[in-house]
Amino acid sequence: MSLPTLLSQHIVRRPQRIALLQHIAEQGSITRAAKSAGLSYKAAWDAIDELNNLAQKPLVERSVGGKGGGGAKLSAEGERVLRLYQKLQALQAQVLEAAEDASDLDLLGRLMLRTSARNQLHGKVAAIETQGHNDRVRLELPEGLSIAAQITHDSTVRLDLQTGTEVVALIKAGWLDLLGGRDEATPGHNCLEGVIEEILDAEDGPCEVRIGLPNGQTLCALAEPRHLQSRKLTRGTSVRAQFSPSNVLLGTPL
Say what the pTM is: 0.66
User: 3-111: what CATH class?
Assistant: mainly alpha
Contact between 170 and 151 (Cβ < 8 Å): no
Q: What is the mean pLDDT of the chain?
A: 82
Which pLDDT value is given to residue 221? 95
Q: Do domains 3-111 and 119-254 have the same CATH topology?
A: no
User: 119-254: what CATH class?
Assistant: mainly beta
Tell whether the model's pLDDT for residue 92 goes beyond 70. Answer: no
Tell whether the model's pLDDT for residue 44 goes beyond 90. Answer: no
H-helix or E-strand spanning residue 119: strand 119-131
Distance CA 111, CA 114 (A): 10
Partners of 223 in the beta sheet? 207
For residue range 161-207, list pLDDT tens digits in order. Answer: 999 998 989 999 999 999 998 899 999 999 999 999 999 987 778 99
For residue range 228-253, list pLDDT tens digits in order. Answer: 999 999 999 999 999 999 999 998 86
3-state secondary structure of 135: strand
Domain regions of the chain by residue span: 3-111, 119-254
Tell whether the model's pLDDT for residue 126 goes beyond 80. Answer: yes
Q: How many CB atoms lie within 10 A of CB 87?
A: 11
For residue range 47-66, list pLDDT tens digits in order. Answer: 888 888 877 788 888 766 55
pLDDT band at 78 (very low <50, low <70, confident <90, very high): confident
Question: What average pLDDT does range 71-79 have in this prediction?
Answer: 87
Which pLDDT value is given to residue 10? 46
pLDDT band at 213 (very low <50, low <70, confident <90, very high): very high
Partners of 250 in the beta sheet? 169
Which pLDDT value is given to residue 234? 95
3-state secondary structure of 163: coil
